[in-house]
Amino acid sequence: MGRPTESSTLTNSLTVRDNRTGKVYDVPIVDNSIQATAFKAMTAPAAPGEREENETYKGLRVADKGFLNTAVIRSEITYIDGDAGVLRYRGYPIEQLALHSSHLETAYLLIYGTLPTKPQLSVFEAEVSHHGVIHADAEQFCRSFRYDAHPMAILTSAFSYLGSYYGEANPSLQGQSLYTKGDAASLSIMDKQIYRLIGKATTLAAMAYRVRQGREFVTPPTGLSYTGSFLYQMDHLGEENYTPNPVLEKALDVLFLLHADHELNASATTVLQTGSSLVDPYSAIAAGCASLYGPLHGGANEAVIRMLISIGKPENVPAFIEAVKKREKVLSGFGHRVYKTSDPRSFIVRKTADEVFKITGKDELLETAMALHEAAMKDEYFVKRKLAPNVDFCSGLIYRAMGFPLDFFPVLFAVPRVVGWLAHWRQMMLQEGGVKIWRPRQIFVGASKRDYVPIEARPLVDGPKKTPSAIAHSGITKRTMLASFKGKVVPKL
């Protein structure tokens, strides 16, 4: 903790001089990090004219919009070196895992920390598969969505809905230490929810898919791999001995493994933020799913294809690149908060794409994608900003070649990411010292105290962003506003 000092006695420390007071503080450095709370000890009287809301007497605050350099947890799960293009799950390079492991084996590794033995893996796979079956009422739930509902809206709601079945797994009902005790009973309840969430993720996703296709639902089969079962649940139409194509099953498994975790991305952070209130894991996973849906995160694979369709053909690439440089467009599938070189997963995705294209044929957008890739990689704008392809740049092309609808792509990201979310959630529940609720600070720059003004005495405040905007009404509303009727007050719009 930072405290005033005359001179530094610690070598592994930061010496901070507060020029407002002349005080010097020693802040210990541990694991190349300093505690933000050390700055809270650095208090000062308010400078002349300083806003009281700055609360200088309560200590310095650390500002970090968008979490550019704030470590919120100690983790043993995933390591990324964004400059070198390195990604390791529990120490194992992603390239080795993609070559030798499977999604469920990697799930075990991410969640429990070591590669499983054969019997451990069989138990894990069997439990996940066993917990894939869903209550029959879920059919009604899924059917209650409109025919054109985005499958991510269905999946996000479905995770939350799922939690309503398991009162015994809900800390709000069973006591807040349900998952933090770390004793055998608590761990067993925790692991059961992990099996349920991984097992039912594919079932719910397949249901979201079949609702849209107007198909009956399929009970999860036995004896197939995780992705084999997922493909079966989406595609089986009653044929005898229906078996998904093994190349597609394997490709999907590799893509699932690559998407299983990625350190503290927006959705994993959302799961931890939500989980820090000790809410049940179903609600936390639903929150993660909602976060992943956005176009800056898991929605990017869908956005890449929409972008490629809008570009149309390789000849239109230069004009598109110019529009990006003028900030009229965004090059989806490029850039990353952490990677300042190519995302290591993008190379494996490209190799996997070749395997898939061998049996499905090439996607017609591939040439445009390659032209875009080439143009961006040698353009000064992208080179200077270290913008390189991320995992989403190619994954959408595989999903398209495999025949998945565009808006299903984020689902194909969310389903495997359930594993990573659970690994982080479990780690946080069991961390030393217990769970601390995540409650960040703000820098308040709003109005200082002022007195309520009666409506007749208020000055007019007008202008964009300062008052509600005029909204466009549909033809139906316009028509009904022209009608006259009794018994209902027509609102003045």
Q: Which is nearer to ligand ACO, 2 or 410 (CB)?
A: 410
Choosing from 236, 336, 373, 424, the catalytic residue is 336
3-state DSSP assignment of residue 14? strand
Q: Which stretch binds ligand ACO (CB under 6 A): 82-90, 166-174, 297-305, 398-406?
A: 297-305
391 binds ligand ACO (CB under 6 A): yes
Q: Which stretch binds ligand ACO (CB under 6 A): 134-142, 206-214, 271-279, 330-338?
A: 330-338
392 binds ligand ACO (CB under 6 A): yes
Find the radius of gyration of the CA atoms of the chain.
26
- Closest distance to ligand ACO from the beta carbon of 419 (Å): 15
Q: Among 197, 252, 324, 418, which residue sits at the site for ligand ACO (rule: CB under 6 A)?
A: 324
Give residues 230-269 in contact with ligand ACO (rule: CB under 6 A).
265
Determine how many CB atoms are found less than 10 A away from the CB of residue 76.
10
Q: Among 335, 344, 396, 416, which residue sits at the site for ligand ACO (rule: CB under 6 A)?
A: 335
307 binds ligand ACO (CB under 6 A): no
207 binds ligand ACO (CB under 6 A): no
Q: How many residues bind ligand ACO (CB under 6 A)?
A: 19
Q: Among 390, 394, 399, 427, which residue sits at the site for ligand ACO (rule: CB under 6 A)?
A: 390
Does residue 336 have an active-site annotation?
A: yes
- In the numeric block, the tokens 């996973």 are attached to 285
Q: Which is nearer to ligand ACO, 211 or 391 (CB)?
A: 391
Buried/exposed code over 27-53 (b: 16+ C-beta within 10 A; e: otherwise)? beeeeeebbeebbbbbebeeeeeeeee
- Closest distance to ligand ACO from the beta carbon of 331 (Å): 4
300 binds ligand ACO (CB under 6 A): yes
Q: Which is nearer to ligand ACO, 236 or 297 (CB)?
A: 297
Q: Which is nearer to ligand ACO, 387 or 428 (CB)?
A: 387
Length of the chain in terms of residues written: 493
333 binds ligand ACO (CB under 6 A): yes
Rounded distance between C-alpha atoms, residue 159 and residue 439, angstroms: 24
Nearest to 127 by CA among 221, 192, 185: 192
375 binds ligand ACO (CB under 6 A): no
Rounded distance between C-alpha atoms, residue 207 and residue 205, angstroms: 5
For the chain, the distance separating the N- and C-terminal CA atoms, rounded to the nearest angstrom, is 58
Q: Is the dihedral of CA 48, 51, 55, 60 positive or negative?
A: negative
- Closest distance to ligand ACO from the beta carbon of 294 (Å): 9
251 contacts 355 by C-beta, under 8 angstroms = yes
- Closest distance to ligand ACO from the beta carbon of 385 (Å): 4
Tokens of 330: 């965004």
Choosing from 253, 261, 343, 392, the catalytic residue is 392
Determine how many CB atoms are found less than 10 A away from the CB of residue 383.
12
Q: Which residue is nearest to ligand ACO (CB)?
A: 335
Alpha helices in 430-474 (DSSP H): none
396 binds ligand ACO (CB under 6 A): no
Buried/exposed code over 232-268 (b: 16+ C-beta within 10 A; e: otherwise)? bbbbbeeeeeeebeeebbbbbbbbbbbbbbbbbbbbb
193 contacts 201 by C-beta, under 8 angstroms = no
Q: Among 212, 336, 424, 426, which residue sits at the site for ligand ACO (rule: CB under 6 A)?
A: 336
202 contacts 220 by C-beta, under 8 angstroms = yes
- Closest distance to ligand ACO from the beta carbon of 400 (Å): 16
Tokens of 360: 């499905």
Q: Which is nearer to ligand ACO, 233 or 368 (CB)?
A: 368
274 binds ligand ACO (CB under 6 A): no
392 contacts 304 by C-beta, under 8 angstroms = yes
- Tell how far CA 248 is from the center of its chain: 25
Q: Which stretch binds ligand ACO (CB under 6 A): 28-36, 293-301, 308-316, 424-432?
A: 293-301
Rounded distance between C-alpha atoms, residue 396 and residue 302, angstroms: 6
- Closest distance to ligand ACO from the beta carbon of 459 (Å): 37
Backbone dihedral angles phi then psi of residue 39, each to the nearest 5 degrees = -75, -20
337 binds ligand ACO (CB under 6 A): yes
308 binds ligand ACO (CB under 6 A): no
Residues that bind ligand ACO (CB under 6 A): 265, 296-298, 300, 324, 330-337, 385, 387, 390-392
Q: Which residues are catalytic?
A: 336, 392
